[in-house]
Chain A
Amino acid sequence: MEGNYYARRKFALLKNLLEYIGIEPGRLHFSWISSAESTKFQRVAKEVSDAVQAVGPANKLIKELAEVA
């Protein structure tokens, strides 16, 4: 239980920081869903998917150099 509350603080800061450096708002989502809330899970999954599609492909934070095997 408590872990959710600690995580909420960390997450609020991370979300703000990512948006601050220019990652579009709407890429990062966070929700509390119990294992009993299947309808909420479905709704949130759809919302996340719609929001991310609306922002389009993520072109930032992609590495340009080839990876070395």
Chain B
Amino acid sequence: MIRYTEKIRQAARQLLESGKVDVFIGFRKGTVPMMSEPTLIRNAQAAETLHWDSNCGINLANYLPKRSERIGIVAKGCDSRNIVTHIVENQIRREQLIIVGVPCEGMVDRRKVTRMAGGDILDVVEEESRIIVTGKAGQQTFDKKDVLQENCAICIHRNPVVYDELVADLVEEQKDVDRYEDIRAIEDKTPEERWEYFQKLIEPCIRCYACRNACPLCYCPTCFVDESKPQWLGKSIDRTDTMTFHFLRAYHCAGRCTDCGACERACPVGIRVRKFTKKLEKDIKELYDWEAGLALDERPPLDRYRPDDPNGFIL
């Protein structure tokens, strides 16, 4: 995937030089291993700083809402679906965008690599399907497919759904993936067990809101957790407040979440927050046969109805 870098630089240089875009949004290498970071560049020389590898998991669509310039943006499958969501929700206009599509083969979970390497990592070299890691214990080689982010391992939309140019040929989509195995396992528990499970899941939460900030769906000018009149939600790390925050955050993403994994990636204490959003994603698919971000000309599921929607729960 590393070979995409040169193509992305070329595309950015060309777009900025020709004046087709005012700003180009992509990734640059981070200051520590496995932490590529988003960058906005405004002149063609800066295209040299652009970078692409398997650590570009943050969702760039997050940088689009309310921008008025013409924008070039790098988009893998999930970014592109969130771009579609932004267009549908009037956060950005399609005409403003030149989308440089990246057929994605999955992003690496840096926590998994660190765990498998047995401690701090000093350097990482990426080859086609291998990750060569240098840690304090020496050099180790991992198969990339063994260290993918959980959401990437079950991804069925690796190719961008909208794009103006592509940096490589489209990749083959994964088939016969069971996307909701973990959610079903939770659903099979008793209510008491589920409550315990989620209490334990959110226990380390420090209410830093990194999950919210990394999420391209969270763009409200004032978030419900920040409002003080009325105060919908307590600010403490009382478990009730924390729980309410997590399930309401997930609920706000219903029918919009593309399971890009940016929330989990951003969490400083490693909470698997996708356990909340994925349930809604599953329900939306099962009840309303909808997957977010695939169509520019359809209203999202909570902005629509069918008279014969599932009804069994109504007294």
Contact = CB atoms under 8 A, between A and B. Distances in A.
Given A2-B305, A8-B314, A15-B313, A61 B283 contact: no
Contacts of B306: 5
Interface in B244-265: 244, 247, 250-251, 254
Interface in A30-69: 30-32, 44, 47-48, 60-65
Contacts of B315: 29-31, 44, 47-48
B186 interface: yes
Nearest to A31: B315
Contacts of B236: 65
A5 B304 CA distance: 8
Main secondary structure of the interface of A (DSSP, over half): helix
Interface string A1-43: 0100110111111111111111111000111100000000000
Nearest to A2: B305
Interface stretch (B7-15, B44-52, B189-197, B222-230): B189-197
Given A2-B305, A5-B309, A22 B191 contact: yes
Contacts of A14: 251
Given A14-B251, A16-B283, A17-B251, A9 B234 contact: no
A12 B310 contact: yes
Given A13-B280, A13-B283, A19-B191, A30 B305 contact: no
A5 B305 CA distance: 6
Contacts of B283: 12-13, 16-17
B178 interface: no
Contacts of A25: 191
30 contacts: A5-B305, A6-B303, A6-B304, A8-B311, A8-B314, A9-B302, A9-B304, A9-B305, A10-B302, A12-B287, A12-B309, A13-B280, A13-B284, A16-B279, A17-B276, A17-B280, A17-B283, A20-B279, A22-B193, A22-B196, A22-B198, A23-B191, A29-B315, A30-B315, A32-B314, A60-B195, A61-B240, A61-B244, A62-B240, A65-B236
Given A13-B280, A63-B241, 12 more contacts: A11-B313, A13-B251, A16-B279, A17-B279, A22-B192, A22-B194, A30-B313, A30-B314, A31-B315, A44-B315, A61-B244, A65-B236
